Homo-oligomer: A and B are copies of this chain.
Amino acid sequence: MSNSFGKIFQVTSFGESHGPSIGVVIDGCPAGLKIDIDAIAQDLDRRKPGQGAHTTPRNETDAFEILSGIHNGLTTGAPLCLVIWNEDVDSSEYDKRRFTPRPGHADYTAHIKYGGFEDYRGGGRFSARITAGFVMAGAVAKQLLQTIGVAIAARIVEIGGVTDPDKMNLRIEEALKEGDTVGGVIEGSALGLPVGLGEPVFDNLDGELAKALFALPAVKGVEFGSGFDAARLMGSQNNDAFTFENEKIISKTNNAGGILGGLSSGMPLIARVSFKPIASISKSQETIDLKTGKQITLETKGRFDPCPIPRALPLVEAMMAIVLCDFSLRAQKISLVI
């Protein structure tokens, strides 16, 4: 495993779904940043199951504790460790189906890679629950970015093929009734970026953002600006003409999504992320039994989250913020003592 991300602003994730805790170490945060505890709690709340009418069975309170790195409410330059204690959960269901990997989950690949020693309970290290740690790191990163006037926001652009916000809930309810799930597309944007974030030719802004976003469970695609549509446009359509606006250089269009040559252009950064539908469904599914070597039908009981998209908004923001903090520090756009 490799659970650290970032070169200067470095985030290290730990914890499992049914272990004692979920946590994160944030290293490289400059000293002197006032930490807004409420803002962290708010982002955790946005990530919590049960955002809309469609709840998951687990009632996550997600109260977090800061184990290090803060003195008098300010960062000290030392690593922050933030932890959420997992409440006692019943893992017996997972013990039973331990050798029958769920389709669409990491059960099978993790089992092979870790030789059966993986913590399989609740998906273990592959559970979406670990993103609570990402959210805490992202909330700190967002606060650090605010000091240089950078704001990050995510919005839902599509759920289960529906792009009209009014009809998205209906789509989710439909899926819920069928014991099924739907995915969607989230668009993350960052405003106020300085020109030149990114470190070509390999640590490009788009590449690093994509890598961070693929660390979110269920992500199957990432695009910037005109993205996959760019493949259908002519050069003359896709190129963004430069012009001046209030003596500032901007482009008339933003097909680049704010990234030129792997570097931020100063235009809004636009990333779109495709999430597959959650793999846990009530419908019966075919899988195999790793012990007996036989084909079986998997029946999973309980009530599942029919759509993760609303809860994933702070996740997309978190990953973008972590990457942008790292690049802002690398490009000396954030001073080390703030």
User: A residues within 8 Å of B by Cβ?
Assistant: 1-5, 7-8, 10, 12-16, 19-23, 25, 27-28, 31-32, 65-71, 74-81, 83, 101, 103-106, 108-110, 112-115, 117-119, 121, 124-126, 130, 158-161, 175, 178, 180-185, 195-196, 199-204, 206-208, 210-215, 217, 219-228, 230-244, 247, 249, 251-252, 255-257, 260-265, 274-281, 283, 285-288, 293, 295, 330-332, 335-337
Contact (A112, B25) CB under 8 Å given A1-B200, A223-B274? no
User: For residue A108, which residues in chain B have a CB less than 8 angstroms away from its CB?
Assistant: 195, 242, 249, 260, 265
Please state if A76 and B16 are interface contacts (CB–CB under 8 Å).
yes
User: For residue A335, which residues in chain B have a CB less than 8 angstroms away from its CB?
Assistant: 332
The contact of A31 among B16, B77, B118, by CB within 8 Å, is: B118
Taken together, the copies of this chain in the complex come to 4
Ordered by A's residue number, 30 sampled pairs between the chains whose C-beta atoms are within 8 Å are: A7-B7, A12-B27, A14-B67, A14-B78, A14-B79, A20-B68, A31-B114, A76-B124, A104-B239, A106-B263, A109-B195, A109-B265, A126-B201, A160-B232, A175-B234, A178-B236, A180-B235, A183-B238, A200-B215, A206-B214, A206-B220, A207-B210, A220-B223, A220-B227, A220-B230, A226-B276, A230-B277, A239-B285, A241-B286, A243-B288
Please state if A233 and B183 are interface contacts (CB–CB under 8 Å).
yes
Please state if B260 and A109 are interface contacts (CB–CB under 8 Å).
yes
User: For residue A293, which residues in chain B have a CB less than 8 angstroms away from its CB?
Assistant: 244, 247
User: For residue A10, which residues in chain B have a CB less than 8 angstroms away from its CB?
Assistant: 2, 4
Give chain B nearest CB distance to A94 CB in angstroms. Answer: 11
Q: How far is it, in angstroms, between the C-alpha of A181 and the C-alpha of B12 when the chains are bound?
A: 38
Q: How far is it, in angstroms, between the C-alpha of A219 and the C-alpha of B203 when the chains are bound?
A: 14
Q: How far is it, in angstroms, between the C-alpha of A185 and the C-alpha of B178 when the chains are bound?
A: 35
User: For residue A185, which residues in chain B have a CB less than 8 angstroms away from its CB?
Assistant: 228, 231
User: For residue A224, which residues in chain B have a CB less than 8 angstroms away from its CB?
Assistant: 220-221
Please state if A27 and B4 are interface contacts (CB–CB under 8 Å).
yes
The contact of A228 among B180, B196, B221, by CB within 8 Å, is: B221
Q: Which 5 A-B pairs have the closest CB atoms?
A: A106-B261, A221-B223, A113-B196, A207-B214, A115-B337
Please state if B222 and A210 are interface contacts (CB–CB under 8 Å).
yes
Q: How far is it, in angstroms, between the C-alpha of A279 and the C-alpha of B219 when the chains are bound?
A: 29
The contact of A260 among B105, B119, B283, B295, by CB within 8 Å, is: B105
Contact (A8, B228) CB under 8 Å given A31-B114, A182-B234, A242-B287? no
Return the chain B residue nearest A109 by Cβ.
B263
Please state if B257 and A78 are interface contacts (CB–CB under 8 Å).
no
Please state if A279 and B23 are interface contacts (CB–CB under 8 Å).
no
Q: How far is it, in angstroms, between the C-alpha of A328 and the C-alpha of B139 when the chains are bound?
A: 29
User: For residue A77, which residues in chain B have a CB less than 8 angstroms away from its CB?
Assistant: 1, 110, 113-114, 117-118, 125
The contact of A21 among B68, B175, B264, by CB within 8 Å, is: B68
Q: How far is it, in angstroms, between the C-alpha of A240 and the C-alpha of B65 when the chains are bound?
A: 39
User: For residue A178, which residues in chain B have a CB less than 8 angstroms away from its CB?
Assistant: 234, 236
User: For residue A249, which residues in chain B have a CB less than 8 angstroms away from its CB?
Assistant: 108, 288
Give chain B nearest CB distance to A101 CB in angstroms. Answer: 6
Give chain B nearest CB distance to A261 CB in angstroms. Answer: 2
Please state if B67 and A21 are interface contacts (CB–CB under 8 Å).
yes
